[in-house]
Structure 1
Amino acid sequence: MKIALLRSFVYFRRHTDAAVYSVCQSGPIAPSMNIRSSITVKLFLSVLAACATVLLVQTLTFRISFQRDFLDYLNEQGSESMARLMPRLAAAYRQRGSWEFLQSDSTAWVDLMRPQGDFDEINRNLSIADQTGALMRTGLLDARLHRIAGNFRVSATSMRRPVVVDGQTVGWLAMLPFQDMMSITDARFLEKQRRVWAIIGVASLAIIALLTFFLTRSLLHRVRTMAGGTHLLAAGDYSSRIEVGSLDELGTLAQDFNRMAEALERNEGARRALMADISHELRTPLTVMLAELEAVLDGIRQPSTQSLHALHLEMTQLGKLIDDLHDLALTDIGALAYQRMPVDLATILRSALDGVRERLGAKDLRLVVQIASEPLFIIGDERRLQQLFANLLENTLRYADHGAHVKVACRCAGDAVTIILEDSAPGVPDDKLDRLFERFYRVESSRNRASGGSGLGLAICRNIAEAHNGRISASTSPLGGLRITVDLARAAS
């Protein structure tokens, strides 16, 4: 039992020393290593260093805990064995009056230290200290701390307890600590265990490095894929997409990247379409005017009121297109000036309708107006709101068929004022309703470029509505045509 416990102690001591030794021998990573500072190396070394640090901390903690707790426990057990011997030593001194009997009789000390009682009872009550040779580590010192009997190595520095007889200290019972009794054989066993645990420590770090490598390789593959997609996107390849994979943080980032790439691809397509549309819209009136002027200069056509009127119409259309482009640019960047004050939407809408009634009648459009009789106040810019309603009515005049029905309603709906403008056929396909407010967008059916217009009016309307913290939307009208709905926040009363 004694040998087994001693070997267990040596095993654990060897484990702690070897683990520290192996970590110190294997690294930290030398700063002189010429390693490329890439994310692969950084992540690999970070995870490896973290695992090695945890191993080192656990090893040191176990070693300190083992030395302070287990060895102290064994020594405390030895101290308790000493306490049980104290009455017997005091009685022997009192009976003989001195310690000379121990010096003259070499067996007297052994008889004094031998456990008393039945053999089976002794085995049952034998403490761990006794099993680890506590009695063999015990000796007796006189009152002046000179050795009298027992272990030859006991001294004043050993663990000791006073032997008191009639209130006077007549000697000291001393015991060597457990760790001081390790033999040369034990030391050799310890050294062998150290080599074993050094191998175990190095193997543990190798396994950690291998697991770290596979973990970081999988993670960094996704990072490299994302970096490659980003480089393509930065180079102008907006069709670049990244495989999402697992729905973790990197997966979410990949989804966001794909959405961004889709948005950039749409914006690039819109930019190219915008440039093409602007060039077409500007070229058409300029070409007509240039042809008219060249005909006059070449003498093919004489200047007349009719030819000048045609030039004036083209100039007017070109000027309106330029004004629309300017207003759209200002509303896009939020630079369009707004003078906000309480205004009555019902009054503004009636004024806009009065401006187009003659043209509505000329096209035989049957108008139905349902505007609330009470004032409908909002905080906004009267001139910009007038522009909003004028553009909406102009859109209806341009695209509604001859003799169509037109309905305009304005009412209060809770904390908002809702304006609805709808007409009869022709309508707009449902899949194209959401695109009506895009600049230069025109439905390629009955509401097409042949009807006139630059395709900027509804885009300007959207920006004006949003600048008033409102919302504008398009839907199919029960009359068979298009319904435009504008919601604006009502002013607090």
Structure 2
Amino acid sequence: MRGSLAVKVFWAVFGTAALLVVAITTASVWRVDRSFSRYVLQLELERLRGLVEQVQRDHAVRGDWGFVPDQAQDPEGYRRWFNRAMGQQRPPRGPAADVTQALGLPSPAPDGPPRDGPNEGPLDAAPPDAPPRDANRPPPRPPDRLALMRRVAFFDAQGRNVGGAPVPLSQCATVPVEVHGQVVGQVGLHIQKDALATAALAFLREQWRDALWMGAAALLLSAVVSLLFARHLRRPVRELVAGTQALTRGALTTRLPTDRRDEFGLLADHFNLMAAQLEQQERSRREWLASTSHELRTPLTVLRALIEALQEGIRQGDPATLQRLHEQVMSLTRLVDDLHQLAQHDAGSHALALAPVRPHDLVDDVLDALAPRLQQAGLQLSLDDLDPDVTLQADPQRLRQLVLNLVENSLRYTDAPGRLHISLRRAAGGWQAEFEDSAPGVPPEALPRLFERFYRGEASRSRATGGSGLGLAIGRAMAEQHGGSLQAFPSALGGLKLVLWLPIGPP
């Protein structure tokens, strides 16, 4: 597994996820660390909203800051005033209510029983069923958990401390005090850095702990997903490796499963297509060797028998025997020539000698040369040329041999008396020649195989009347070399129809 694709994919996905988790967690905690102190301070300033509103009312009534009790000289009075201003004790109705309405500020709660429940009321008022309080004993003080009363300071418009905590303006977070649209001073809250740092440290510890747990869970999840994804990719890769190894061992029937719809499925389809083509080529090679050896064996066997008969005196070297020897030698020569042409075509070593060719004249020459044989075979020939002035860029010698092979095919396999009709014309931007003969025909399922090497369409066609089965294969190879095509169809005359198409321009 070391160095394999699955391991690389696993570490790539897991490493990317780990870096993202660490980066996001660190950035989040760093952001919280920077904004936590400011956030806490904003919350504390929000708690001073009622105090600021009350200060605005009192300043509107007095016109100065004399309404703030001196915390050093009258701590109890300052405490009562501060609690009332913070909303913990309802202020009495009086001139301040009129000023509040005139300034458009929020109105204080009215006297009397509270609307929200019986537990609300003055902080220094005792419940109805409570025992009487000692007159000499001071009233109980409400808890000040945030120590706001000891941290709040009041500053006039010039920034001078006019009450509250004795701290300078520079050490406070402030809220402006506006009366009639003008800033008359500020309410400041002394910033206690040690307290904020302690609270921030505790909060950040919780954040780090939660972030570490979430990061660990995210890393575990990414590891599981990376492992599953790596295994998902490893299976088709292993199948592909096993398939290629099987092909190298010669198991050309190997196929890969094609149940995937991704790139691996497409790769499996191409692999199967390649394996099928290799299997077909191997089958064709074996058939080619078997057929070639079989075709060569027949004339060689006849030659051997004749020569041995001459040697043993069974036969004499008369003209008839010499004629049979010559026929077998010529048959063997034609077969070797055909094999040589096919080998040249497969190797692509035979270059075309292109020249202007009039197919009408070329077909006439071939038919004139084969006229005696056609007459002897009992075939009636007819020719229709709708465009006799067509000129092709082709190799004259190979094109002549191509037409000769097509006429020879009808000459050898058509029963007498029979017909051969040839039609020449322009078609589909090129030149087309149709060769139609009479019976016997070729079964439709055998038509695609006519161009296979050593294939004969009729089992009754022997080598004595037919060729080696290479003529049409050579013809298609020549047509394709010229950039054209050669196809087989059933003929309306009852036999075979061969359609040759060649481009008019150079291939």
Class of the TM-score when normalised by the shorter of the 2 chains = 0.7 to 0.9
Kept after mapping to 2: 8 A contact 1:426/1:447: no
Number of equivalent positions: 449
Number of the residue aligned with 1:43: 9
Checking the alignment, whether the CA contact within 8 Å between 2:437 and 2:491 is kept in structure 1 is yes
CA distance in 1, matches of 2:339, 2:75: 120
Partner SS, residue 451 of structure 2: coil
Q: Distance in 1 between matches of 2:380 and 2:493?
A: 12
Per-residue Cα deviation, 1:300-353 (whole angstroms, up to 9, x for no partner): 433333333322222222222222122212222332221223322222122221
1:332 corresponds to which residue? Answer: 346
Gaps of 5+ in 1: 1-34, 125-130
Does residue 176 of structure 1 match 2:195?
no
Describe the shift of the 1:323–1:180 C-alpha distance in structure 2 as closer, same or farther (beyond 3 A): farther
Specify the alignment match of 2:104 in structure 1: none
Distance 2:253 2:416 in 1: 45
Give the drift of 1:137.
Answer: 9.3
TM normalised by structure 2 equals 0.74
**Preserved CA contact (<8 Å) 2:169 2:188:** no
* Residue 349, structure 1, aligned to residue 357, structure 2: no
| 1:359 paired to 2:373 | yes
Rg larger for = 2
**How many Å separate the matches in 1 of 2:452 and 2:150?**
97
2:383–2:422: 8 Å Cα contact kept in structure 1?
yes
Per-residue deviation, 1:426? 1.5
Deviates more, 1:271-280 or 1:441-450: 441-450
Per the alignment, residue 272 of structure 1 pairs with 286
2:16 partner letter: A
| Structure 2 runs not aligned, ≥5 long | 88-106, 117-143
Which piece of structure 1 moves more, 74-83 or 319-328? 74-83
Aligned to 2:403: 389
Cα distance between partner residues in 2 of 1:300 and 1:163: 143
Q: 1:149 to 1:264 in 2, by over 3 A?
A: same
For residue 230 of structure 2, what is the aligned residue in structure 1?
Answer: 216
State the SS of the aligned residue for 1:451.
coil
CA deviation profile, 1:19-38 (whole Å, cap 9, x unmatched): xxxxxxxxxxxxxxxx7122
- Conserved? CA contact 2:358–2:391, under 8 Å: yes
Partner in structure 1 of residue 127 of structure 2: none
What does residue range 90-489 of structure 1 map to in structure 2 within 5 Å?
A: 95=64, 101-106=70-75, 111=81, 114-115=85-86, 118=108, 135=148, 138-140=151-153, 150=165, 156=170, 159=173, 173=188, 175-176=190-191, 181=196, 183=198, 187=201, 191=205, 194-195=208-209, 197-372=211-386, 374-447=388-461, 449=463, 451-489=465-503
AA matched with 1:466? E
294 and 106 in structure 1: CA distance in 2 versus 1, 3 angstrom threshold: farther
After alignment, is 192-201 or 235-244 more displaced?
Answer: 192-201
CA deviation map 1:137-169 (0-9, x unaligned): 9554999999995498x99566568999xx999
Q: CA deviation at 1:285?
A: 2.2
Q: CA deviation at 1:388?
A: 0.8
Distance 1:321 1:454 in 2: 7
For 2:134, the equivalent position in structure 1 comes to none
* SS of structure 1 residue aligned to 2:434: strand
Report if aligned partners of 1:74, 1:178 keep a CA contact under 8 Å in 2.
Answer: no
Instruction: State the distance in 2 between where 1:96 and 1:247 align.
Output: 81
| Amino acid of the structure 2 residue aligned with 1:392 | L
* Partner Cα distance (1:158, 1:441) in 2: 106
Aligned pair in 2 of structure 1 residues 214, 147: CA closer, same or farther (>3 Å)?
farther
Tell me, what secondary structure is at the counterpart of 1:475? Answer: strand
**Change in 2 beyond 3 A, CA 1:254/1:449:** farther
Q: CA deviation at 1:267?
A: 0.7
* Conserved 8 A contact 1:442-1:448: no
Per the alignment, in what secondary structure is the counterpart of residue 446 of structure 1? coil
Equivalent pair of 1:138/1:175 in contact (CA under 8 Å): yes
Measure how far apart 1:79 and its partner are: 6.6
Contact 1:159/1:177 (<8 A) preserved: no
Does structure 1 conserve the Cα–Cα contact (< 8 Å) formed by 2:69 and 2:78?
Answer: no
Supply the RMSD in Å over aligned alpha carbons: 4.3
- Measure, in 2, the Cα distance between the counterparts of 1:477 and 1:224: 52
Aligned letter for 2:306? E
Contact 2:387 2:424 survives alignment (8 Å): no
Q: Shift of residue 435 of structure 1?
A: 1.6
What TM-score comes out, normalization by structure 1 length? 0.75
Distance 1:249 1:353 in 2: 56
The 2-side partners of 1:369 and 1:491 are apart by: 24
1:87 to partner: Cα distance? 11
| In structure 2, distance between residues paired with 1:132 and 1:284 | 118
Task: Work out the CA distance in 1 between the residues paired with 2:208 and 2:227.
Answer: 28
Letter paired with 1:359:
R
Worse overlay, 269-278 or 139-148 = 139-148
Distance 1:422 1:67, change over 3 A: farther
- Relative to structure 1, the CA distance from residue 145 to residue 226 in structure 2 (aligned partners, 3 Å threshold; closer, same or farther) is farther
Trace 1:1-20 onto structure 2 (pairs within 5 A).
Answer: none
Query: 2:377–2:416: 8 Å Cα contact kept in structure 1?
Result: yes
1:340–1:61 Cα change, 3 Å: farther
**What is the rounded CA distance, in whole Å, between the counterparts of 1:157 and 1:233 in structure 2?**
83
Task: Check whether the contact 1:145–1:171 (CA below 8 A) recurs between aligned residues.
Answer: no
Measured after TM superposition, the shift of residue 39 of structure 1 is 2.1
Q: Decide whether the 8 Å contact of 1:418 with 1:487 is kept in 2.
A: yes
Q: Which moved more, 1:44-53 or 1:236-245?
A: 44-53
Shift of 1:475: 1.1
Quote the Cα distance in structure 2 between the aligned partners of 1:168 and 1:248.
Answer: 71
Q: Distance in 1 between matches of 2:270 and 2:6?
A: 24
Structure 1 residue 442: deviation in Å?
2.3
